[in-house]
């Protein structure tokens, strides 16, 4: 083969190789140890460009800093020589300019190749995760049926979610006697701040619409002790009781009985690895509270419910004051301790049913179902006063910390979650501008 | 054959100037031109773009643009803007900063997106940023 032919062959092979990598259906990025992007393929740019604040893709860690603030930390403390730094980390991506309302989910893996090279893998797994969620629901349903009788309580509910009659299994699982159960709704099984009357109706409607409603979380027994449990609700359609009777006739009261079947399971013995993995996926790496993804998933669910059955919905966003100064003067471990202190104080101040999350490096958000602007302001104020009065304990000594807070309520936002978050952000900005350590809300119509 | 024209990436009424050009006319331009139709099939791929991407024209003509040729543009910033413009019957003429992955190196560019309702041919134009 002469030089000309060899060159031509090389050219052909080069083009074929380029095409191969151009068409790879996953995002691939090669970076230096500080996240500087050396090479990336088209799917990587497709997925990363919407996240880029500056319209550039110079540094992977900078581009991902809002959805994954800890990457440089993980890389530095993870595997010093080489190896997997994170595997299939799920990042919730919500870009306000994107007209589609729902967050995308990206799966992110990072591998250290050597001292100065890393490889990252990115995939859009939104559809896949939804499928897996539905599958999990079905598995839970099946598990509830197949488990032994001692494992669950069977409860019948009327159309309003009230317990129709007591049976042995209820007392065995939850401790409630026939007298305690009489006239109560399913909220009896929940901690008092763990459910709202609107949420009870949500569960029943979800059962009507999708065939079953599944809710896993903290439950409470008659003696006040908490346990991790699941509540599965399915509609009961008894033969001949289809609501063909006109309302107000003699037939109607009978149709009011036994509208739903509720299965209550105590999962204390069943915290298996799958459940632990689910827990890890919704929790923030540093503070243990919900992460950004969990916050937006919960916010989208609640937005859908509010659309169907209107009730107030508010959100508070918090940002640690002078946080850069704390990190720079006292070091990152002290900064981390401050973030953990803020998170645990948030968790102790807000209700069980509120979703408390870390949504950015030093930014937190709390979703407040069934709460109007005034209610949000009251509890946000209470939190700010509490935090300002209790410094964080760190290795560098006691560190006083405060936050600025912005509140917003769905009534001012036309049912649009993006607008709700934007208004909260604007209010937060106003709080900062007005001197920090305070709560601000925008006037309606602004 | 009409005299070869040199067009400016930023000039007004660029779509009108591009539509009558044939392959030679597009090859004479000093920015990348990808022309495609309402089904997103690539119809034009000029010499400038071919040189920049390292892809021959033959490999690209006839393929769906956003899923087989310019996957990095398959998001709400580029691909969906054409869909939205078509759906809402609005003309599209937008210039945005972007990053292309030609030969897998990040390359800063400006994209100009051109489309008009009723016109089957639409364009993505690519201008390398000065100093890029």
> Do A49 and B74 make contact, defined as CB atoms within 8 angstroms?
no
pLDDT by residue (tens digit) across A53-99?
A: 888 899 999 999 988 888 888 888 876 677 888 888 888 887 766 66
Most confident option among A7-21, A69-83, A404-418: A404-418
Q: State the smallest CA–CA distance between residue B103 and chain A in angstroms.
A: 7
Of B56, B84, B99, the CB nearest to A45: B99
Average pLDDT of chain B is: 90
Mean pLDDT, residues A193-203 taken together: 94
What pTM did the predictor assign?
0.56
Whole-complex ipTM: 0.82
| pLDDT score at B4 | 65
pLDDT by residue (tens digit) across A243-284?
A: 443 444 444 444 446 789 999 988 877 666 666 677 777 888
pLDDT by residue (tens digit) across B65-90?
A: 999 889 999 998 999 999 999 999 99
- Comparing CA positions, the residue from A266, A351, A282 lying closest to residue A316 is A351
Pairing of strands A403-409, A313-320: antiparallel
> Do B101 and A15 make contact, defined as CB atoms within 8 angstroms?
no
| pLDDT score at A283 | 86
Q: State the smallest CA–CA distance between residue A387 and chain B in angstroms.
A: 41
Q: How far apart are CA B66 and CA B124, in angstroms?
A: 11
Touching B: A residues 66-125, CB under 8 Å = 95, 97-100
Q: State the smallest CA–CA distance between residue A56 and chain B in angstroms.
A: 6
Q: What is the DSSP string of A254-304?
A: HHTS--EEEEEEE-GGG--HHHHHHHHHHB-TTT-SB-HHHHHHHHHHHHH
A127 — contact with chain B (CB < 8 Å)? no
A40 — contact with chain B (CB < 8 Å)? yes
Mean pLDDT, residues B4-19 taken together: 87
> Do A37 and B71 make contact, defined as CB atoms within 8 angstroms?
no
Q: What is the DSSP string of B67-83?
A: III-GGG-STTTHHHHH
Cα dist from A287 to A336, A347, A348, A350, A392, whole Å? 8, 11, 13, 16, 14
Q: Give the model's confidence band at A341: pLDDT under 50 very low, under 70 low, under 90 confident, else very high.
A: very high
pLDDT for residue A144 is more than 80? no
Contacts of B117 (CB under 8 A, 6+ apart): B85, B86, B89, B90, B91
Interface probe with B: pick from A32, A40, A46, most Cβ of B within 10 Å: A46
pLDDT for residue A343 is more than 90? yes
Q: Which residues of A touch B51 (CB under 8 A)?
A: none
> Do B98 and A41 make contact, defined as CB atoms within 8 angstroms?
no
Contact B127, B110 (CB under 8 A): yes
Q: State the smallest CA–CA distance between residue A433 and chain B in angstroms.
A: 31
Q: Which residues of A touch B96 (CB under 8 A)?
A: 55
- Comparing CA positions, the residue from A247, A234, A262 lying closest to residue A162 is A262
Interface probe with A: pick from B106, B124, B131, most Cβ of A within 10 Å: B106
Q: Give the model's confidence band at A320: pLDDT under 50 very low, under 70 low, under 90 confident, else very high.
A: very high
| pLDDT score at A275 | 65
Of B77, B104, B108, the CB nearest to A39: B104
- Comparing CA positions, the residue from A57, A51, A45 lying closest to residue A21 is A45
Average pLDDT of chain A is: 87
> Do A46 and B75 make contact, defined as CB atoms within 8 angstroms?
yes
Mean pLDDT, residues A127-140 taken together: 82
Cα dist from A27 to A121, A366, A367, B89, whole Å? 6, 32, 33, 33
> Do A19 and B84 make contact, defined as CB atoms within 8 angstroms?
no
> Do A42 and B98 make contact, defined as CB atoms within 8 angstroms?
no
pLDDT by residue (tens digit) across A363-407?
A: 999 999 999 999 999 999 999 999 999 999 998 889 999 999 999
Q: Which residues of A313-344 are buried (b: 16+ CB within 10 A; e: fewer)?
A: bbbbbbbbbebeebbeebeeebbbbbbbbbbe
> pLDDT exceeding 70 applies to what percent of chain B?
94
> pLDDT exceeding 70 applies to what percent of chain A?
89
């Amino acid at each position: 083969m002469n030089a000309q032919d060899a060159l031509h062959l090389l050219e052909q092979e080069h083009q074929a190789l380029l095409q191969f990598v151009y068409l790879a259906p996953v995002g691939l990025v090669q970076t230096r140890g500080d996240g500087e992007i050396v090479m990336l393929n088209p799917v990587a740019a497709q997925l990363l460009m919407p996240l880029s604040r500056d319209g550039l893709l110079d540094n992977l860690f900078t581009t991902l800093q809002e959805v994954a603030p800890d990457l440089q930390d993980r890389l530095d403390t993870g595997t010093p020589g080489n190896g997997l730094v994170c595997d299939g980390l799920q990042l919730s991506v919500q870009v306000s300019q994107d007209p589609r309302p729902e967050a995308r989910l990206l799966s992110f893996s990072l591998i250290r190749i050597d001292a100065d090279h890393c490889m990252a893998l990115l995939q859009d797994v939104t559809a896949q995760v939804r499928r897996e969620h539905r599958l999990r629901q079905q598995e839970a349903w099946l598990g509830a049926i197949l488990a032994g009788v001692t494992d669950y309580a069977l409860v019948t509910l009327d159309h309003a979610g009230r317990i129709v009659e007591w049976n042995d299994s209820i007392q065995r699982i939850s401790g409630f006697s026939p007298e305690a159960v009489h006239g109560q709704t399913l909220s009896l099984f929940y901690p008092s701040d763990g459910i709202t009357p609107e949420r009870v109706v949500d569960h029943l409607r979800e059962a009507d619409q999708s065939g079953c409603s599944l809710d896993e979380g903290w439950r409470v027994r008659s003696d006040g002790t908490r346990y991790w449990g699941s509540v599965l609700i399915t509609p009961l359609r008894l033969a001949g009781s289809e609501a063909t009777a006109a309302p107000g006739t003699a037939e109607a009261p009978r149709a009011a009985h036994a509208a739903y079947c509720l299965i209550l399971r105590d999962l204390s013995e069943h915290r298996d690895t799958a459940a632990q993995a689910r827990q890890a996926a919704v929790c923030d790496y540093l503070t243990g509270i919900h992460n950004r993804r969990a916050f937006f998933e919960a916010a989208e669910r609640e937005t859908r419910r509010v659309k169907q059955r209107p009730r107030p919905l508010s959100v508070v966003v918090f940002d640690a004051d002078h946080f850069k100064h704390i990190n720079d003067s006292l070091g990152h471990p002290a900064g981390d301790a401050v973030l953990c202190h803020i998170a645990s104080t948030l968790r102790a101040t807000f209700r069980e049913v509120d979703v408390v999350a870390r949504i950015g490096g030093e930014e937190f958000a709390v979703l407040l179902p069934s709460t109007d602007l005034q209610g949000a302001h009251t509890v946000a104020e209470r939190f700010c006063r509490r935090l300002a009065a209790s410094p964080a304990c760190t290795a560098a000594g006691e560190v006083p910390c405060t936050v600025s807070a912005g509140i917003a309520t769905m009534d001012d936002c036309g049912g649009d979650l993006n607008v709700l978050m934007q208004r909260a952000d604007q209010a937060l900005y106003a709080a900062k501008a007005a001197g920090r350590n305070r709560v601000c809300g925008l006037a309606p119509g602004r | 054959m009409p005299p070869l024209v040199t067009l400016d990436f930023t000039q007004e009424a660029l779509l009108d100037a591009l539509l009558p050009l044939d392959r030679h006319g597009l090859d004479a331009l000093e920015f990348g031109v990808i022309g495609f139709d309402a089904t997103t099939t690539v119809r034009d791929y000029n010499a400038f773009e071919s040189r920049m991407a390292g892809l021959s024209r033959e490999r690209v003509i006839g393929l769906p643009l956003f899923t087989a040729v310019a996957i990095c543009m398959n998001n709400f910033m580029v691909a969906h803007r054409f869909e939205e413009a078509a759906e809402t019957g609005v003309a599209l003429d937008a210039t945005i900063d972007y990053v292309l992955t030609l030969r897998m190196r990040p390359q800063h560019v400006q994209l100009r997106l051109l489309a008009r309702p009723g016109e089957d041919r639409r364009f993505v134009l690519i201008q390398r940023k000065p100093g890029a």
